[in-house]
Amino acid sequence: MTEAALKTLIEITAGVTLAVPVGRLDFEASTGFQQAIEQAIAGAGASAVVVDCAQLEYVSSAGLRVFLIGARAAKQANVRFSVCGLVEAVRRVFVVSGFDKLIVEHPDRAAALAALQ
Amino acid sequence: MSELRAANTDLPTLNRELNHAWEASGLSPEGLFPFELALEEVFVNAITHGAQAGETRQFQMAFSHSGARAMLVLRDDAPAFDPLSLASPDVDATLEDRAVGGLGIHLVRELMDDVTYRRVDGYNELTLSKHID
């Protein structure tokens, strides 16, 4: 594969850092995604990190692990952490893993941003 | 049964092959996700457990379907290990107490209708099946 399966776009607006993973979050992609999430949490001035999963097509246990690490790191750093826009298959993985009880979830980006106001 | 040299970089190849087989089967595209996930989880486990540096693991995949029932057989020549013997992770644990590992096989069991393990001819063999709507 010459092209990465996952790109994570970062958007910063008014104290909120949006991390937008686009593609497939598999074993190979999980290391890069972890770096992106950790940077988003550590980023200057961020009081909240929202992972917008609307363009995330696939996640495995290696990817879930990063969400868990991210949620913990955010809590330690006093940064609010949430996810939004989970497609059905990805949401099923979250629920089966019990992650819906560990990580705040919103239906879409607008709802996630509104909840931070 | 397709046989491919097992290294982490070969997962995309295996996944492409699974996608092609799924397309050819005519099964609903929405049903593919749990099979892609199972392939990845089992493959990664086989590669990361017990492989010495420079060693090549054999990993074999066979996909079939009978009507709406899809079946994936995965074989690897890692040391004998029945992943179904693992206890399920505590999915009610708090954020602090939640274990970081052990989720893969749990996901596979939950997302499939049926998973069986056997050790045969020096291979770990997992047979996974699911009815596709």
The DSSP result for A70-91, as a single string, is: HHHHHHHTT-EEEEE---HHHH
* Residue positions counted in chain B: 133
Nearest-10 Cα torsion for B57, B31, B22, B35: 0
Structure tokens at B129: 């099946």
pLDDT at A55: 98
Structure tokens at B61: 């995949």
Cross-chain residue pair A60–B33, CB shorter than 8 Å: no
Reply yes or no on whether the pLDDT at B5 is more than 70. no
Structure tokens at A82: 């949430």
User: Cα distance from A100 to chain B (closest Cα, Å)?
Assistant: 10
Cβ under 8 Å to A: B residues 55-114: 89, 91-96, 98, 100-101, 103-104, 106-107, 110-111
Mean pLDDT score of chain B, rounded to an integer? 87
Complete domains list, chain B, with CATH: 2-131 (3.30.565.10)
* Residue B58: other Cβ atoms inside 10 A: 15
pLDDT in tens, A61-86: 999 999 999 999 999 999 999 999 99
For chain A, domain boundaries: 6-115
Reply yes or no on whether the pLDDT at A48 is more than 70. yes
* Residue B132: other Cβ atoms inside 10 A: 20
pLDDT in tens, B51-85: 666 677 888 899 999 999 999 999 998 889 999 99
User: Cα distance from A93 to chain B (closest Cα, Å)?
Assistant: 7
ipTM confidence score: 0.90
Give the architecture (CATH level 2) of A6-115.
2-Layer Sandwich (3.30)
A28 contact residues in B (CB cutoff 8 A): 8-9, 11-12
Report strand pairing: A80-84 vs A48-52.
Answer: parallel
User: ∠A60-A63-A69 over CA atoms, to 5°?
Assistant: 140
Tell me which residues of chain A have a C-beta less than 8 Å from any C-beta of chain B.
1, 5, 26-28, 58, 60-62, 64-65, 68-69, 71-72, 75, 89, 92-93, 96-98, 101-102
The residue among B67 and B8 whose pLDDT is bigger is B67
Cross-chain residue pair A1–B12, CB shorter than 8 Å: yes
Most B CBs within 10 A among A28, A56, A58, A60, hence the mutation to make, goes to A60
Average pLDDT over residues A33-51: 90
DSSP SS3 for B59: strand
